[in-house]
Amino acid sequence: MSTNIDNNAAMWQTDAGVQSFISKQEAREAKRRAQWMLMAELLPFGEDESFTVLDIGAGTGPAARAVLELFPRANAILADFSTQMMDEGAKSMARFADRYRYVTFDMNSGVWPDSIPSDLGAVVTSQCVHHISDLRKQQLFLEIYDHLQPGGWYVNFDPINTEDALVEAAWQRANERQDPDAAEKERNRTPEEQARYENHVRYMIPLAPQIDLLTQAGFEAVDVYWKELDHVIVGGRRPLR
């Protein structure tokens, strides 16, 4: 049975919820590596430039790691509200030990800790903005804008939904051809898998309003920099003045 009760914290701030996610992390990292690399490649820095990237909802930090790999003089702040995810991330981030730090931060709070500076070179978000309401998305994009230096970029990799039934059917068709077990898995979700699915889709929105929110926040060069079915990379930069 479907419920509208927001179970996001229960998913991410419990050992069981996080272990369920982490058990599939290796496969997820193999599948999404090209997207995280593209997020880094979009940033306008030279290899010898130093800047700070903030990864919000960083989890184990794959988006931040892509930036640290491409830009050897960059540093990263990884923000998350889940102690369990940050503990897992400490393992994945070990080779960048002197170039990153975790900050406890709830994307819903609207209050940014002083440990996040307001002259960031870039902000990235990967697969987490769909966990907050539309109002908070709107506010978060403004808060990100305020924490970027002029010319700084915000890049978001996230799933989207659609109000067009034909488009949804086409996405589903392709997804099922790529993963022949998908339909069966969907029909036979455990209660835990169903709760995770509901948390996944609760605040997901179509592409057009995402773009509108970025533009309304003041970003320029807003574009869909990558798209495959129901996953997109969108972003833009804070104008120079």
Ligand X SMILES: C[S@@+](CC[C@H](N)C(=O)[O-])C[C@H]1O[C@@H](n2cnc3c(N)ncnc32)[C@H](O)[C@@H]1O
Q: Where do contacts with ligand X occur on this chain (CB under 6 A)?
A: 8, 12, 57-60, 62-63, 80-82, 85, 105-108, 126-128, 131
Q: 227: part of which helix (H) or strand (E)?
A: strand 220-228
Nearer to ligand X, 4 or 163 (CB): 4
**To which residue do tokens 């699915």 refer?**
197
Query: In Å, how far are 113, 122, 150, 219 from 241, measured between CA atoms?
Result: 25, 16, 6, 11
Shortest Cβ 46–ligand X spacing (Å): 26
Q: Which residue of the chain is nearest ligand X when measured via CB? A: 59
Nearer to ligand X, 7 or 167 (CB): 7
Report, in Å, the least distance between residue 112 CB and ligand X. Answer: 12
Q: At closest approach, how far in Å is the CB of 57 from ligand X? A: 3
What angle, rounded to 10 degrees, do the helices at 15-22 and 83-92 form?
30
3-class SS of residue 125: strand
CA dihedral 103, 13, 193, 157 (to 10 degrees): -10
Nearer to ligand X, 81 or 225 (CB): 81
CB of 75 to ligand X, least distance (A): 18
CA distance 241 to 239: 5
Task: Tell which residue, 156, 191, 186, 158, has the closest CA to residue 172.
Answer: 186
Residue 75 vs 126, nearer CB to ligand X: 126
Distance CA(100)–CA(52), nearest Å, equals: 9
One-letter amino acid at 153 equals W
CB nearer ligand X, residue 126 or residue 162: 126
CB of 48 to ligand X, least distance (A): 27
